[in-house]
């Protein structure tokens, strides 16, 4: 009975409870809406987070820090610095015109009107200026302008400016590598390395300075349109210097044109002319069909079908193999290659040296060689003296290093080698062939067309080269335009370094009697580079005994070495190609 009464009482109270609960729900909703409105307003009043969320694409920076780049001795070539950029939130600025005017007065390159248009664009984010200087940062802080703030990001700087620009490369505004080693760190062969460790290059900045100085002087003197200089360790493949001119300052790459950014050492191919006679002579000796004492008839031009091959400074007599090399005879060189097996032998040998394929290096600027698709006799002849085939100067230096060292191919590198014994070596040429070619390179400097490459204290070997420049637009060759070069090795009795200098369209002057050939324009530059770089690299001077050995061999192979008339002829031929 008692339970029934309580149940009835509860039923009678239900309408009151229902109304109370409804009122509570209504009040709760009101409070929820009010708090939500307040929260939205508070968020709207906070500039930092919403601004950065609204413009991630505009304000994006590369979060990956870049490693410092050093030369082989620890000299800094590239590093990251935290740099401020200025941006604004126009919604927090009451006086847009005044703000634009004040910022334009303290920020170099910022004009008031364009900035005001950006501020009035109705967005919550507007860049004012990227990458300001510390002085500009201080000036903006002193203004104390509402709605103006800083964003900090890594900015790449190059303390040595243009000194090694084509090797080091450059980055874009978001610190992404776009050229040289910088590109390799992001997208190339170095992308997987530990980015917290400094990257040490093979470059020796002291040698790089010497080469750059000499190359700039030669380019200015001979009014060349471009130039390349390379110094390579023939035992390890390390590039101690690689200079391409004209160059650029990677701190201001936006001011550099395409010609300045072009890497003429590894990213451009050239017909290098008589430099190729190093390889042609080696082909002949390596075949086993030709001996260094053999002689060839160079009394008259060589006819191949409707083509005629001549010597620039014809001797018009039979020439021995060393004389063909030192006098740079086109006729004798072509005949040697024909007797050694012709086009197939030449093609096979150049392939072993890596001259028929794209070279290898850590930078992306690598051009593929331009190789004949067919090798008839006339093509074989022209290739033997460096026409009809185009390679990069870097590829040439690599191949020459093989033929001047011990016949083992070593790949070039821009990274410092800490253990020379671990460098991969691929034997491709017989040591006795290397010995003969090396001696003829010495003979060319001692008595032939490369005499202006001689250096007091070192025995130098090398070869001159002068090639008519290809006209890629019209076909054929350009009139009065040549590629002049000299490739040298020192000390030739125990080779350590290969040096190449190439001048694009040099002009002769009074000092060269108007001659623009490699023996007159490029060879003296190689001499100066060796004179400066040799002591820096700790290369000991050549001994008297080494010179006597070279001279004794000349007396055996060229019994007429003392003939005064021949010596005068050689001197007159100093302009040789």
Residues labelled as active-site residues: 274
Taking a C-beta distance cutoff of 8 angstroms, is the pair 282, 356 a contact? Answer: no
Contacts of 137 (CB under 8 A, 6+ apart): 84, 150
Report the candidate in 314, 248, 234 with the shortest Cα–Cα distance to residue 492. 234
Task: Quote the DSSP letter at residue 216.
Answer: H
CA gap 325, 276 in Å, rounded: 11
CA gap 410, 400 in Å, rounded: 11
Report the candidate in 329, 573, 306 with the shortest Cα–Cα distance to residue 440. 329
252 to 29, 82, 165, 179, 187: CA distances (angstroms): 61, 17, 11, 14, 22
CA gap 418, 334 in Å, rounded: 42
Report the candidate in 310, 306, 374, 387 with the shortest Cα–Cα distance to residue 342. 374
From the number of C-beta atoms within 10 Å of its C-beta (0-12, 13-18, 19+), residue 199 rates as: buried
Q: At residue 504, what are phi and psi to the nearest 5 degrees? A: -95, 110
CA gap 467, 264 in Å, rounded: 16
Is residue 500 within a helix (H) or strand (E), and if so which, with residue range? strand 497-504
Bridge partners of residue 85, in order along the sequence = 151
Is residue 467 within a helix (H) or strand (E), and if so which, with residue range? strand 461-470
Helices 330-340 and 277-286, axial angle in degrees (round to 10)? 30
Q: At residue 127, what are phi and psi to the nearest 5 degrees? A: -70, 140
């Amino acid at each position: 009975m008692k339970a029934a009464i309580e149940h009835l009482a509860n039923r009678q109270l239900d309408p009151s409870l229902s109304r109370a609960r409804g009122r509570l729900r209504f009040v709760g909703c009101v409070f929820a809406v009010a708090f939500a409105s307040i929260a939205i307003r508070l968020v709207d009043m906070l500039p930092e987070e919403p601004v950065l969320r609204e413009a991630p694409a505009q304000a994006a920076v590369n979060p990956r820090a870049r490693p410092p780049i050093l030369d082989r001795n620890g000299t800094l070539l590239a590093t990251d610095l935290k740099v401020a950029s200025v941006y604004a939130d126009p919604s927090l600025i009451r006086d847009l015109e005044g703000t634009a005017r004040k910022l334009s007065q303290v920020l170099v390159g910022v004009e008031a009107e364009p900035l005001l248009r950006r501020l009035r664009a109705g967005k919550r984010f507007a860049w004012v200026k990227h990458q300001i200087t510390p002085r500009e940062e201080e000036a903006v802080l002193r203004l104390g302008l509402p709605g103006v703030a800083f964003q900090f990001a890594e900015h790449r700087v190059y303390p040595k400016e243009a000194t090694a620009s084509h090797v080091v490369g450059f980055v874009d505004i978001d610190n992404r590598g776009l050229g040289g080693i910088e590109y390799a760190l992001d997208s190339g062969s170095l992308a997987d390395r530990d980015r917290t460790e400094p990257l040490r290059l093979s470059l020796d900045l002291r040698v790089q300075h010497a080469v750059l100085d000499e190359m700039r002087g030669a380019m200015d003197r001979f009014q060349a349109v471009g130039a390349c200089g390379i110094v390579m360790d023939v035992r390890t493949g390390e590039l101690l210097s690689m200079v391409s001119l004209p160059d650029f300052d990677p701190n201001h790459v936006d001011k550099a044109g395409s010609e300045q950014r072009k890497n003429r050492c590894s990213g451009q191919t050239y017909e290098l002319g008589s430099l190729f006679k190093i390889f042609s002579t080696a082909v002949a000796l390596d075949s086993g069909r030709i001996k260094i004492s053999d002689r060839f008839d160079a009394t008259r031009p060589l006819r191949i079908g409707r083509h005629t091959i001549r010597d620039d400074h014809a001797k018009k007599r039979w020439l021995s193999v060393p004389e063909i090399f030192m006098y740079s005879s086109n006729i004798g060189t072509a005949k040697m290659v024909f007797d050694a097996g012709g086009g197939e032998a030449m093609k096979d040998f150049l392939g072993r040296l890596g001259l028929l394929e794209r070279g290898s290096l850590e930078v992306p600027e690598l051009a593929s060689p331009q190789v004949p698709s067919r090798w008839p006799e006339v093509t074989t002849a022209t290739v033997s003296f460096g026409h009809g085939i185009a390679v990069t100067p870097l590829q040439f230096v690599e191949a020459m290093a093989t033929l001047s060292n011990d016949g083992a191919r070593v790949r070039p590198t821009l990274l410092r080698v800490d253990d020379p014994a671990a460098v991969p070596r691929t034997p491709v040429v017989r040591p006795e062939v290397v010995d003969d070619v090396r001696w003829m390179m010495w003979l060319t400097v001692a008595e032939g067309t490369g005499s202006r490459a001689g250096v007091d204290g070192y025995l130098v070997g090398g070869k001159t080269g002068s090639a008519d420049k290809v006209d890629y637009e019209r076909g054929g060759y350009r009139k009065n335009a040549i590629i002049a070069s000299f490739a040298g090795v020192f000390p030739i009795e125990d080779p350590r370094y290969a040096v190449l200098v190439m001048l694009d369209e040099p002009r002769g002057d009074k000092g060269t009697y108007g001659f623009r050939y490699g023996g007159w324009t490029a060879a003296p530059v190689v001499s100066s580079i060796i004179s400066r770089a040799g002591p820096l690299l700790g290369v000991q001077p050549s001994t008297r005994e080494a010179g006597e050995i070279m001279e004794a061999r000349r007396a055996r192979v060229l019994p007429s070495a003392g003939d005064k008339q021949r010596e005068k002829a050689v001197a007159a031929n100093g302009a040789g190609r």
